Amino acid sequence: MQRTKPPFRADEVGSLLRPQKIKEARARLEKGEISADDLSKIEDMEIEKVVHRQASTGLKLATDGEFRRSWWHFDFLAKLTGCELFHPDAGIQFTGVQTRHDAVRVIDKLDFPADHPMLNHFRFLKKHADTAHVTAKMTIPSPAVLHFRGGRKSISKDVYPDLDAFYEDLGKTYRKAVKAFYDAGCRYLQFDDTVWAYLCSQEELQKARERGDNPDGLQQIYSRIINYAIAERPADMTITTHVCRGNFRSTWISSGGYEPVAETMLANTNYDGYFLEYDSERAGGFEPLRFLPKGNKVVVVGLVTSKVGELEKKDDIKRRMEEASKFAPLDQLALSPQCGFASTEEGNILSEEEQWAKLRLCVELAEEIWGK
């Protein structure tokens, strides 16, 4: 059967390729040719159009494509009280390419500000999603992301000499964020998270140790923070997570199946749904899905890749979904691309039409697998 509440049988992670008009407007803003208000108006128009495009594709939800963001995570984190954006000597190293030199660090006590700009971003999205008769989905980075990437070095020792106090404030900050988005009308919220996948990668664990961090026990710490953050969500609010192995201009960072974190993540972390990458052998097999508790939780299986434009064959996706159903009930599964199409404003290396074909494929397959 189809689902009437999120996550839906055919779903999407969040980000969409930036339209040319937004790219051009951003470039003109950099040159001082237009104002920030001018850019915002162009973003408004493009977001309104993309919401209706998602609805016409057959999706039951719509995001704003993250059109107002440069990064999937830094734009949100840098606007938390106590955080700032800075420019380190190097960017994030992906396979064969490095990102721009941006990062976020903690310089004061953490809190969620009542005027966080993404609250208004969501309100705009919801207004147009309601008009298009689809559910507005908001994506924000998981609290784990603020800690793991920079580690201890990115958290002021003057402010937080003890990391336990940092973890406590991080949970409180996200609990306030969940309430603020709910009060703004959000009923479908997603925590995007690269960290669960990093904890499955021996290479990333070694990098953490080289930064002076001890990754042992982190999955349990992150699970406690997330559970605290989402514990008071009302019954009509769905909160999911998306686990990513890196997504920048069609490249990636980490490899490794979910086995090392599956029990903590699926059984002990209280999300309503999990968007899990399964578009390549780097994600391993479906065996870790056995830890999904029987009941209402849903795994959205990311079998359609957002990294290349070539369209998958329906029979291949159906076969893999059948394999997944050996470890978790088909009724607790759904389908989506493995990641967004533009985790940063640069976007992945495929065309907009190829992107929409991928999303249409998810809708068609969901109808064929679960019925209309």
Domains and CATH numbers, the chain: 20-370 (3.20.20.210)
Does residue 367 surpass a pLDDT of 90? yes
Rounded to whole angstroms, the Cα distance separating 170 from 199 reads 20
pLDDT for 248 equals: 45
Per the prediction, the chain carries an average pLDDT of 92
User: Between the CA atoms of 104, 108, 112 and 115, what dihedral angle is there, to the nearest 10 degrees?
Assistant: -90
Does residue 197 surpass a pLDDT of 90? no
pLDDT band, very low/low/confident/very high, at 345 (cuts 50, 70, 90): confident
Query: Residue 285's closest CA among 309, 248, 259?
Result: 259
pLDDT band, very low/low/confident/very high, at 307 (cuts 50, 70, 90): confident
Count of beta carbons in the 10 Å neighbourhood of residue 134? 20
Which residue carries 């440069």 as its tokens? 70
Query: Residue 348's closest CA among 244, 242, 247?
Result: 247
State both tokens at 20. Answer: 């040319």
Q: How many residues does the chain have?
A: 372
Q: Which residues contact 312 (CB under 8 A, 6 or more apart)?
A: 303, 304, 305, 358, 361
115 burial class (0-12, 13-18, 19+ CB within 10 angstroms)?
Answer: exposed
Instruction: List phi, psi (to 5°) of 41.
Output: -65, -40
Range with the largest mean pLDDT of 71-75, 184-188, 200-204:
184-188
Cβ–Cβ < 8 Å for 177, 167: no
Q: Write down the H helix ranges in the chain.
A: 20-30, 36-57, 74-77, 117-131, 143-148, 163-183, 195-198, 202-210, 218-230, 262, 314-324, 352-370
Q: How far is CA 174 from CA 140, 183, 191, 230, 335, in A?
A: 10, 14, 10, 8, 27
pLDDT band, very low/low/confident/very high, at 208 (cuts 50, 70, 90): confident
Rounded to whole angstroms, the Cα distance separating 273 from 79 reads 26
Rounded to whole angstroms, the Cα distance separating 76 from 361 reads 31
State both tokens at 353. Answer: 């039409």
Number of continuous H segments (helices) and E segments (strands) in the chain: 12, 12
pLDDT for 96 equals: 52
Rounded to whole angstroms, the Cα distance separating 21 from 7 reads 31
Does residue 99 surpass a pLDDT of 90? no
Rounded to whole angstroms, the Cα distance separating 159 from 83 reads 12
User: What is residue 61's three-state secondary structure?
Assistant: strand
pLDDT band, very low/low/confident/very high, at 276 (cuts 50, 70, 90): very high
Cβ–Cβ < 8 Å for 291, 246: no
pLDDT for 94 equals: 41
